[in-house]
Amino acid sequence: MCKSLYLLVAVVGLSFGGVIALAQEVAQTPPMGWNSWNYFAARVDDAGVRAAADQMIATGMKDAGYIYVNIDDTWQGKRDESGVLHANEKFPDMKALADYVHSKGLKLGIYSGPGAQTCAKYEGSLGHEEQDAKMYAEWGIDYLKYDLCSFRQTMDQQAPNDRPAQMKMMHDAYDKMGKALKATGRPIVYSFCQYGWDAVWEWAPSLGGNLWRTTGDIRPAWDSVYSILSEQEGLESYAGPGHWNDPDMLEVGNGRLNIRENRSHFSMWAMLAAPLLAGNDLPNMKPEIKEILTSKDVIAIDQDKLGKQGRRVYSEGEVDVWERDLAGGAKAIAVLNAGSDRYSTHPFHLSLEKLGLHGAQKGRDLWAKTDITLTDGMPIEIASHDILLVRIEKPK
Ligand code: GLA
């Protein structure tokens, strides 16, 4: 009797533990990979995704931790009479593409949304959630970005001028796909994309969300990167292993960002424990961009096991000082010159006191790759839109 009770407890305990283990399996650190949208947009195709996968190996990005190869919008074709969605002519065989990506030791991601149409007006998952989730699992998909898009119109039509009812519809829609993904039994990272509506960080984790966009779309320009960065303040308590704030995919190497801006963008996404999804043209990546994207020390900040998102401690003039607590009591400090020229903010004197640090701090300058000692009130020269990123192993 006693023995069978013990057995029952053990079995229940094991399966409960198993469920937890399965639910926590993905995104224990912020997902890293590449996504087609920021550079290729509607030009993405099978060959381009294979080339991206190849380049992730050739450039050392895979070794640096980038694993997901994510197809964004515009892969979808039409549904057949049974409601099965087929990829369009740009993707002749999605299962074969998944096999190819998997054969490289990488994982494949895909994109859909709860509406009838996606943002680029391709077929969405409305009314076909279970069917689509099952198909993704059959193809071997490992990651789904689920984008609100036209579901906003559905919300407007079905609950005009009734915001609470609209928000409930939105929650239910994300819940539905979350359950459908779970029912497949395949570990699939679930990425919410609804631009931060209704304080998504408060409810996404309970619906199985592993990451959620916190803002509108990023653009490859400093004003966009900096304004998204500023919008992350106050969200740090919502991030942790398995569930992350997503300030949108990286624009490193894209558009008008200069080398300092690329470096600052990447550093600050690492400080934010943000998903690192490169969005550039990998086959034509410049060496200096590769150097940023594969910086092991900076990636280690992003992927730190503690999973604690950094916070802005103080600003002075146009210089922002951020800190992030790291595993083992270490700390990362970022000093960012957001000003449009060096002189508007200089000389900048770092306050260790405001950072809660006492006396000289020995650390590592992660971009210069040199040792550095931070002292209270020390003058720091930082060019416009550049950053000093320091890791202190034993802060005092
Ligand atoms: C929205 C998303 C983007 C991208 C496009 C695709 O704008 O926020 O990240 O997925 O849709 O149409």
Which amino acid residue places its CA nearest to atom 3 of ligand 1? 217
Of all protein residues, the one whose alpha carbon is nearest to atom 8 of ligand 1 is 217
193 lines ligand 1 (CB under 6 A): yes
| Ligand 1 atom 11: residue of nearest CA | 119
Query: Could you tell me which residues are beta bridge partners of residue 146?
Result: 112, 192
pTM flag (> 0.75): yes
Q: What is the pLDDT of residue 38?
A: 98
Task: Say if ligand 1 is within 6 A of residue 251 CB.
Answer: no
Whether ligand 1 lies within 6 angstroms of the CB of 170 is answered as: no
In the numeric block, the tokens 């900040």 are attached to 301
Q: What is the DSSP string of 141-210?
A: --EEEEE-TTHHHHHHHHSTT-HHHHHHHHHHHHHHHHHHHHHHTS--EEEEESTTTTTHHHHTGGGT-S
Q: Is 147 in the pocket of ligand 1 (CB under 6 A)?
A: yes
Q: How far apart are CA 208 and CA 109, in angstroms?
A: 17
Q: Is 123 in the pocket of ligand 1 (CB under 6 A)?
A: no
State residue 391 phi and psi, 5-degree precision: -110, 125
If you measure from the C-alpha of residue 191 to the centroid of ligand 1, how many angstroms do you get, rounded to a whole number? Answer: 12
Task: Count how many residues are written for the chain.
Answer: 396
- Find where tokens 């994982």 sit: 107
CA dist 331 and 139 (Å) reads 41
Name all contacts of 232-237 with Cβ < 8 Å and 24+ positions apart.
232/272, 232/309, 233/311, 233/312, 235/201, 235/309, 236/308, 236/309, 236/310, 236/311
Helix and strand totals (H; E) in the chain = 13, 18
Q: Distance between CA 75 and CA 135 in Å, rounded?
A: 14
Ligand 1 centroid, distance to 119 Cα (angstroms): 6
DSSP annotation string for 248-317: ----TTSTT--HHHHHHHHHHHHHTT--EEE-S-GGG--HHHHHHHT-HHHHHHHT-TT-PPPEEEEEET
Pairwise CA distance, residues 62 & 107, whole Å: 11
Q: How many CA atoms lie within 13 A of 219 on its CB side?
A: 6
Asked whether 217 lines ligand 1 (CB < 6 A), one says yes
The tens place of each residue's pLDDT in the chain, 396 residues long, gives 344 443 443 334 444 434 444 444 899 999 999 999 999 999 999 999 999 999 999 999 999 999 999 999 999 999 999 999 999 999 999 999 999 999 999 999 999 999 999 999 999 999 999 999 999 999 999 999 999 999 999 999 999 999 999 999 999 999 999 999 999 999 999 999 999 999 999 999 999 999 999 999 999 999 999 999 999 999 999 999 999 999 999 999 999 999 999 999 999 999 999 999 999 999 999 999 999 999 999 999 999 999 999 999 999 999 999 999 999 999 999 999 999 877 767 779 999 999 999 999 999 999 999 999 999 999 999 999 999 999 999 999
CA-CA distance, 273 to 302, in Å (whole number)? 5
Spatial contact of 73 and 120, defined as CB atoms under 8 Å apart: yes
- Asked whether 120 lines ligand 1 (CB < 6 A), one says yes
The DSSP letter of residue 213 is E
Residues labelled catalytic: 147, 217
Residue of minimum CA distance from atom 5 in ligand 1: 119
Secondary structure (DSSP) of 112-152: E-SSSB-TTS-B--TT-HHHHHHHHHHHT--EEEEE-TTHH
SS3 13: helix
Kindly give the distance from the C-alpha atom of residue 44 to the centroid of ligand 1, in angstroms, as a whole number. 13
> Letter for the amino acid at 133?
A
Contact 391, 332 (CB under 8 A): yes
Specify the pLDDT at position 326: 98
Pocket test for ligand 1, best of 36, 193, 213 (most atoms within 8 A of CB): 193
Cα(147) to centroid(ligand 1), Å? 7
Rounded CA-CA distance 185/9 in Å is 24
Q: Is 365 exposed, middle or buried (0-12, 13-18, 19+ CB in 10 A)?
A: middle
Residue 46 Cβ inside 6 Å of ligand 1? The answer reads no
- Pick the closest to residue 175 from 130, 220, 207, 145 (CA basis): 207
Q: Which position has the token pair 């998903």?
A: 275
Angstrom distance (rounded) from CA 54 to CA 298:
23
Take atom 9 of ligand 1 and give the residue whose Cα is closest. 217
